[in-house]
Amino acid sequence: MHPPEEFLKHAAECELMARFARKPEDKKTWKHMAERWLRCAEVFTNQSLAPRDNTPAKRPIGGTLRWAHH
Handedness of CA 48, 50, 55, 60 (dihedral sign): negative
Q: Identify whether 65 is part of a domain.
A: no
Q: Identify whether 11 is part of a domain.
A: yes
Predicted pLDDT of residue 50:
77
Q: Identify whether 53 is part of a domain.
A: no
Mean pLDDT across 45-63: 65
Mean pLDDT across 56-65: 55
Please give the C-alpha separations between residue 27 and each of 2, 39, 64, in angstroms, as whole numbers: 28, 18, 56
d(CA 5, CA 7): 5
Asked whether 41 and 7 are in contact (CB, 8 A), the reply is: yes
Per-residue pLDDT reduced to its tens digit, 41-51: 999 999 988 76
Q: Identify whether 63 is part of a domain.
A: no
Q: Identify whether 15 is part of a domain.
A: yes
Range of the domain at 17: 3-48
Q: Identify whether 30 is part of a domain.
A: yes
Q: Identify whether 16 is part of a domain.
A: yes
Number of domains in the chain: 1
pTM of the predicted structure, to 2 decimals:
0.68
Look at 61 and 13; give whichever has higher pLDDT: 13
d(CA 40, CA 11): 10
Torsion angle defined by CA atoms of residues 53, 59, 60 and 66, in that order, rounded to the nearest 10 degrees = 140
